[in-house]
Amino acid sequence: MPQKQSHTGQKGSTQNRGFASMDEEKQRKIASKGGRAAHEKGTAHEFTSEEAREAGHKGGQVAHERGTAHEFTPEEAREAGRKGGQAAHEKGTAHEFTPEEAREAGRKGGQASHGKGSSGESKHNR
C-alpha cells in the first residue's frame, strides 16, 4: 500500500495535515480572510461590549490556567492603559469621571500599590 504524503511533501504520517498543523501566521491569514468574507456577506457576529468583555475574561482565565498568559510589566500595563484611554477618547466612548469617582479610584489605587495596614486601611488614611 503506498504511503500518504503530507502537505509538506513528506511521506509517512498524516498527522501533519490540515489547518491545525499550519504555522500560526498562515492560520491567521486564512482566518482573517474568512472574517472579512463574513463581514461582507453580513453573517459575521458583532459582539456587544458585554460579550467582548466576557470572551476576554474567559480567554484570560484559560491562558492563566495554561501558563500562557502574558504577564505585563508595570510599564507595559501603563502604556496599554494610556493607549486604550486615548482610543476611547478619540472614539467618544471614554468614561468621564466625576471628581468623586476620580478620588475614589485614586484612593483604591493607592491602597493597592502601598498595601493595606493591619486594620484594612491604607497607610495614608491612618
HEC readout, 100-117: HHHHHHHHHHHHHHHCEC
Answer yes or no: pTM beyond 0.85: no
Question: Is 5 among the domain residues?
Answer: no
The pLDDT of residue 124 is: 46
DSSP letters, 30-78, are HHHHHHHHHHHHT-SPPPPHHHHHHHHHHHHHHHHHHT------HHHHH
Question: Is 20 among the domain residues?
Answer: no
Q: What is the pLDDT of residues 74-122, one digit of tens each?
A: 999 999 999 999 999 998 888 888 999 999 999 998 888 877 644 444 4
Question: Is 89 among the domain residues?
Answer: yes
Q: For residue 100, what are the domain limits?
A: 74-112
Read off the DSSP letter of residue 123. Answer: G
Question: Is 23 among the domain residues?
Answer: no
Question: Is 98 among the domain residues?
Answer: yes
Question: Is 93 among the domain residues?
Answer: yes
Question: Is 83 among the domain residues?
Answer: yes
The domain tally of the chain equals: 1
